Amino acid sequence: MNWKGLTVGFALTGSHCTFEEVMPQIQRFITAGANVIPIASYTLMSTDTRFGTSEKWQKQLKDMTGNDIISTIVAAEPLGPTKLLDVLIIAPCTGNTTSKLANAMTESPVLMAAKAQMRNQNPLVLAISTNDGLGLNAANIAKLLITKNIYFVPYGQDAPIAKPNSLVARMDLIMETCESALQGKQFQPMVIERFNYS
CA 11 from chain center: how many Å? 5
Q: pLDDT tens digits, residue range 45-79? A: 999 999 999 999 999 999 999 999 999 999 999 99
Helix (H, G, I), strand (E, B) or coil at 197: coil
Q: pLDDT tens digits, residue range 125-165? A: 999 999 999 999 999 999 999 999 999 999 999 999 999 99
Q: Note the pTM of the prediction, 2 decimals.
A: 0.96
Q: Please give the Cα distance from 198 to 129 (Å, whole number).
A: 23
The pLDDT > 90 percentage for the chain reads 95
CB 88 within 8 A of CB 112: no
Q: What is the pLDDT of residue 197?
A: 57
Beta strands, E only, 49-123: 87-93
Complete DSSP assignment for 159-194:
-TTT-TT-EEE-GGGHHHHHHHHTTT---S--B---
Which range among 8-17, 67-76, 118-127, 183-192 shows the weakest confidence by mean pLDDT?
Answer: 8-17
Q: Across the chain, what does the average pLDDT equal?
A: 96
Residues 6+ apart with CB under 8 A from 152: 125, 126, 127, 128, 144, 145, 169, 177, 186, 190
For residue 89, which of 186, 14, 174 has the smallest C-alpha distance? 174
Helix (H, G, I), strand (E, B) or coil at 66: coil
For residue 43, which of 93, 9, 117 has the smallest C-alpha distance? 93
Q: What is the pLDDT of residue 196?
A: 63
Q: What is the pLDDT of residue 198?
A: 42
Q: What is the pLDDT of residue 38?
A: 98
Q: What is the pLDDT of residue 14?
A: 86
Q: What is the pLDDT of residue 190?
A: 97
Helix (H, G, I), strand (E, B) or coil at 63: helix
Residue 85 has pLDDT above 90, yes or no: yes
Q: Is the peptide bond before 81 cis (omega within 30 degrees of 0)?
A: no
